[in-house]
Chains A and B, each alone.
Chain A
């Protein structure tokens, strides 16, 4: 799966689960800092990423840089799949 496809999946997931329209959350929107996702949202996001992309996240992965935006999440998944 290439980065564009990953991004599309992540964007669709976040849009569906935050009930926010796609134009409200861009690829660079800080989804946690701006309050679109909370701690429950993070648990659900990790579950989604692990199930959808077959990756495993570790404690060390759990840093802001990996999850702050759709771009960051997609990059993170892409690196995990590489």
Chain B
């Protein structure tokens, strides 16, 4: 008998948040204590919703005294993140809170210098001391078979903006140098994890995992990922249930990667998460484009194009999720 529920806008919501939270917490405790044989968890917190929920889950799983929260700002980070991180740690009773500014490490890697060199090739007038920059996707929409193009935006001290499409070398150099940020954070988290004999609790959610919106061996480097199967809507449900401070819940998700403010929708997803969640749910649970289109006020053709887009995104980001390939010659 087919028991699949008809598709609806509410289908995305967890019916029993307390029960789901308990299950995740229980599994987290078993995984970390019994499988990984570690005493507790280290969580990198950014002032964003995903890391906040992970801290709350870890505090419930191991007890607040077996959880260490690490803030790792750098010179492009939002200044309010530190204040939010302190409130968050206090909300969950986590006393072990460390502030490790990674700007010096990034200078050592020549992260900013390499990035700015590429930006200047596109905009010679760019001065990193006074200008801000970000990469944005050209919004052709996800209902299109052609992937988005990336463009570089610079913001002058007087607030005026310039935008140019990015070519291969500059795009790759900006991304590769920016990825030092996530990888430096991962290295810092493992320092604390090893010093305390804890596990690193990774913070990517379902979309980040499956659409490849993470840095391999950066924020994708962790021992466990307790919200890796949750849609963003569901992460927000858990946030409310766990008692994440309202200021964090109300913040627009940002990438916190480039010097100019940038939303995740603007950089990667191209759809507000409320819509993305529902379309992705339909796609991954085998709902037909016709059924989803009817509920979401779209045409079946556009939803089918969106599904193709999801499929392509998943396939083309397989590399990020792959373990090192080891099945070579065995003597």
Whether B316 and A43, one on each chain, are in contact in the complex, defined by CB atoms closer than 8 angstroms, is no
Whether A43 and B168, one on each chain, are in contact in the complex, defined by CB atoms closer than 8 angstroms, is yes
Instruction: Give the chain A neighbours of B144 by CB distance below 8 A.
Output: 64
Across the interface, name the chain B residue whose C-beta is closest to A41. Answer: B147
Instruction: Give the chain A neighbours of B140 by CB distance below 8 A.
Output: 62-63
Interface residues on B, range: 20 to 34
Residue interface mask B295-331, A partner, CB < 8 A = 1: 0000000000000100111011000000000000000
Query: What's the least CB distance linking A27 to chain B, in Å?
Result: 17
B86 contacts the other chain (Cβ, under 8 Å)? no
Given contacts A46-B149, A67-B146, A68-B145, whether A38 and B165 have CB atoms under 8 Å apart is no
Instruction: Give the chain A neighbours of B167 by CB distance below 8 A.
Output: 43, 46-47, 50
Our pick among B146, B150, B169 for the contact of A68 (Cβ within 8 Å) is B146
From A8-16, A29-37, A74-82, give the one contacting chain B: A29-37
Whether B146 and A47, one on each chain, are in contact in the complex, defined by CB atoms closer than 8 angstroms, is no
Query: What's the least CB distance linking A9 to chain B, in Å?
Result: 17
B171 contacts the other chain (Cβ, under 8 Å)? yes
Instruction: Give the chain A neighbours of B147 by CB distance below 8 A.
Output: 32, 37-39, 41-42
Instruction: Give the chain B neighbours of A33 by CB distance below 8 A.
Output: 145, 308, 312
A35 to B308, CA, bound (A): 9
Instruction: Give the chain B neighbours of A35 by CB distance below 8 A.
Output: 311-312, 315-316
A5 contacts the other chain (Cβ, under 8 Å)? no
B138 contacts the other chain (Cβ, under 8 Å)? yes
A21 contacts the other chain (Cβ, under 8 Å)? no
B224 contacts the other chain (Cβ, under 8 Å)? no
Given contacts A33-B308, A46-B165, whether A39 and B150 have CB atoms under 8 Å apart is yes
Given contacts A38-B316, A39-B150, whether A47 and B145 have CB atoms under 8 Å apart is no
A59 contacts the other chain (Cβ, under 8 Å)? yes
Across the interface, name the chain A residue whose C-beta is closest to B147. Answer: A39
Whether A43 and B150, one on each chain, are in contact in the complex, defined by CB atoms closer than 8 angstroms, is yes
Residue interface mask B122-156, A partner, CB < 8 A = 1: 00000000000000011010001111111000000
A11 to B259, CA, bound (A): 39
Across the interface, name the chain A residue whose C-beta is closest to B144. Answer: A64
A20 contacts the other chain (Cβ, under 8 Å)? no
Query: What's the least CB distance linking B13 to chain A, in Å?
Result: 31
Our pick among B146, B171, B316 for the contact of A63 (Cβ within 8 Å) is B146
Query: What's the least CB distance linking A75 to chain B, in Å?
Result: 15
B225 contacts the other chain (Cβ, under 8 Å)? no
Whether B166 and A62, one on each chain, are in contact in the complex, defined by CB atoms closer than 8 angstroms, is no
Query: What's the least CB distance linking B308 to chain A, in Å?
Result: 6
A68 to B308, CA, bound (A): 14
Our pick among A37, A38, A44, A67 for the contact of B168 (Cβ within 8 Å) is A44
Across the interface, name the chain B residue whose C-beta is closest to A63. Answer: B146
Most chain A CB inside 10 Å of its own CB: which residue of B140, B148, B167 = B167
Instruction: Give the chain B neighbours of A26 by CB distance below 8 A.
Output: none
A32 to B146, CA, bound (A): 6
Query: What's the least CB distance linking A49 to chain B, in Å?
Result: 11
Instruction: Give the chain B neighbours of A32 by CB distance below 8 A.
Output: 145-147, 312
Query: What's the least CB distance linking A36 to chain B, in Å?
Result: 10
A57 to B149, CA, bound (A): 12
Whether A62 and B168, one on each chain, are in contact in the complex, defined by CB atoms closer than 8 angstroms, is no
Whether A62 and B315, one on each chain, are in contact in the complex, defined by CB atoms closer than 8 angstroms, is no
Instruction: Give the chain B neighbours of A37 by CB distance below 8 A.
Output: 147
Give me the 5 closest cross-chain CB pairs, A-B, nearest first. A39-B147, A38-B316, A47-B168, A33-B145, A64-B146
- 12 A-B pairs with CB atoms under 8 Å apart are A32-B147, A38-B147, A38-B312, A38-B316, A40-B171, A43-B150, A43-B167, A46-B167, A59-B138, A59-B165, A62-B138, A62-B140
What residues of chain A have their CB less than 8 Å away from a CB belonging to chain B?
A: 30, 32-33, 35, 37-44, 46-47, 50, 57, 59, 62-64, 67-68
